[in-house]
Amino acid sequence: MTLTEARDFLRAELLTVAAAAVPGFEGIVAHDVGPVDPGVMSDGSGPDTVCSITIENGNPSVVDPAGEVAAAVAALAARGWQTNVAPVENGHHRATAQYNGFQVTVHGWDDDWRLTLSGETPSIPE
């Protein structure tokens, strides 16, 4: 799999899961800037080997982070992702998922109608 293919796969997965998590609404691509160096904070000389994508979804009239995170986790699991739901921390609902080196984080917040799904491809040198 090339990095471009991995990026396309991740975006499609996140959009599908985002739609499953919020009934009646499609997610939007909030961030998807292309290949970046994952170690840039430590040393900017490394190659751009990963893509990071963020999808947002939500219904402004419904604040249900627990239900939406649970639905996202169920959708990820049904698609073969290995999921993990963290205990709620002061209103932060957080779940993670892994699949063949891909990483996804699902964030929901008690005071926010928006659900964030953020994913990263495995490191693939171009």
Q: How far is CA 75 from the centre of its chain?
A: 12
Nearest of 42, 40, 108 to residue 70 by alpha carbon: 108
CA 58 to CA 67: how far, in whole Å? 12
Residue nearer to another protein on the CB measure, 16 or 109: 109
User: Per rule CB under 8 A, is residue 100 in the interface with another protein?
Assistant: no
User: Per rule CB under 8 A, is residue 9 in the interface with another protein?
Assistant: no
Q: Order across the sheet with 102-109: list the strands.
A: 28-36, 50-58, 114-120, 102-109, 92-99, 82-85
Smallest separation, CB 93 to another protein (Å): 11
User: Per rule CB under 8 A, is residue 125 in the interface with another protein?
Assistant: no
Residue of the chain from 16, 67, 109, 124 that contacts another protein (CB under 8 A): 109
Using only the alpha carbons of the chain, give its radius of gyration: 15
Binding site for another protein (CB under 8 A): 25, 28-34, 36-46, 48, 52, 54, 56-61, 84, 89-90, 92, 94, 96, 98, 103, 105, 107, 109, 111-114, 116, 118, 120
